[in-house]
A = this chain, B = another copy of it.
Amino acid sequence: MTPTPQLLAVLGRGVVPVEFPLLSADDLGVTRGDGCFDAARVTSGPDGPRVHYLAEHLARLQRSADALGIDGPDTGEWEALVGEALQAWTGSAEAVCKFVLTRGLESRPSSPVAYLTITTTPDAARVRRGVSAVSLDRGYRSDAFTDAPWLLGGVKTLAYAVNVAARREASARGVDEAIFRSSDGYLLEGPTAGVLFACDDQLWTIPFGPTGVLPSVTIAALFTAAGSNGVGSGQRMLHGDEVGDCDGLWLVSAIRGVLPVVSLDGQRLRHDPEVTSVLANAVGFPSIT
């Protein structure tokens, strides 16, 4: 049997052929990027496929929907759809489950559209050994999102064109990844990953709220695991000039795991593969080989 490379499940309809056109030309999700999404890791083992940190990803999706004022499905409806999709999923060992919610049609009365896809992910073993990165100015000051909810800071909207453009820019500069920095010089996040760093024998990530940074589900899980092992963690700002003083810098993604940044803007960074392996294992990813 040929493995399924991608599966589509639509709320109210269940699993449908992936080739099936789903969205109206007038859907606000496409005409305005007016909707939200979330993405979680799917792995398949002897007991079948499962979604990692499902509750946490659905909670974040709900927060995104609330910030946009979209009255989408509740958690139970999403969970039921995930159950149907996993039963039908016969794809590869590593995949991504992407949840998408749009506001619905622009020109006619309609309901929000909710669906999920499960898609085989490319092997991330190489990037888990280390990535080169460039920092790109995001144009916002590090406190730009204070009292400005219309800027949708921390909301995982469908309006990701700048994130995609930043990845193209990184690629054009011959490096693996982009890391956004604020106009006042602080590291913020990757286009599809959170920033984690080690300093003063603790783990840190970038504060949410004023920075507009998306809270990372995987970093939160990592901090919980670290706490259980007596390692402290917290949020603090990291200026670009301070990166060289860190004991490690990682981009953390639900899908690809804990990627050590081995160079940033041409500067080599400290990196201990054993630490990366411990961090990766703590959130279910394999050790570096």
Residues of chain A whose beta carbon lies under 8 Å from any beta carbon of chain B? 5-6, 8, 10, 18-35, 37, 68-69, 98, 100, 102, 107-108, 115, 117, 119, 136-141, 144-145, 148-152, 155, 157-166, 168-169, 178, 183, 212
Instruction: A166 to B149: give the CA distance in the assembly, Å.
Output: 9
In the complex, besides A33-B158, A68-B165, 5 extra interface pairs with C-beta distance below 8 angstroms are: A22-B24, A25-B100, A150-B165, A151-B165, A159-B161
Which of A30, A100, A140 lies at the interface centre, i.e. has the most chain B CB atoms within 10 A of its CB?
A: A30
Instruction: Kindly list chain B residues whose C-beta atoms are within 8 Å of the C-beta of A212.
Output: 139
Instruction: Kindly list chain B residues whose C-beta atoms are within 8 Å of the C-beta of A158.
Output: 30-33, 159, 161
Are A34 and B150 CB-contacts (below 8 A) given A26-B117, A107-B119, A115-B25?
Answer: no
B30 contacts A102, CB within 8 Å? yes
Which of A22, A138, A139, A141 lies at the interface centre, i.e. has the most chain B CB atoms within 10 A of its CB?
A: A139
Rounded to whole Å, the gap between the CB of A270 and the closest CB of chain B is: 28
**Which residue of B26, B102, B136 contacts A18 across the interface (Cβ within 8 Å)?**
B26
Instruction: A33 to B6: give the CA distance in the assembly, Å.
Output: 20
Are A27 and B32 CB-contacts (below 8 A) given A6-B107, A145-B139, A165-B152?
Answer: no
Instruction: Kindly list chain B residues whose C-beta atoms are within 8 Å of the C-beta of A22.
Output: 21, 23-25
Are A34 and B117 CB-contacts (below 8 A) given A19-B24, A27-B23?
Answer: no
| A120 nearest in chain B by CB position | B107
CB pairs A–B below 8 angstroms (30 shown): A6-B107, A8-B25, A20-B25, A21-B22, A22-B23, A23-B30, A26-B117, A28-B164, A30-B100, A31-B98, A32-B158, A32-B160, A32-B161, A33-B157, A33-B159, A34-B161, A34-B164, A35-B161, A69-B168, A107-B119, A136-B148, A137-B151, A138-B151, A139-B139, A139-B145, A139-B212, A141-B141, A144-B183, A150-B178, A159-B162
Instruction: A34 to B107: give the CA distance in the assembly, Å.
Output: 21
A30 contacts B32, CB within 8 Å? no
Rounded to whole Å, the gap between the CB of A172 and the closest CB of chain B is: 9
A163 contacts B108, CB within 8 Å? no
Smallest CB-CB A-B distances: 4 pairs: A33-B33, A159-B159, A159-B161, A139-B144
Instruction: Kindly list chain B residues whose C-beta atoms are within 8 Å of the C-beta of A19.
Output: 24
Rounded to whole Å, the gap between the CB of A94 and the closest CB of chain B is: 14
Instruction: A160 to B98: give the CA distance in the assembly, Å.
Output: 21
Instruction: A106 to B164: give the CA distance in the assembly, Å.
Output: 11
A141 contacts B183, CB within 8 Å? yes
Instruction: A256 to B215: give the CA distance in the assembly, Å.
Output: 39
Instruction: Kindly list chain B residues whose C-beta atoms are within 8 Å of the C-beta of A160.
Output: 31-34, 159
B100 contacts A31, CB within 8 Å? yes
Instruction: Kindly list chain B residues whose C-beta atoms are within 8 Å of the C-beta of A164.
Output: 28, 32, 34
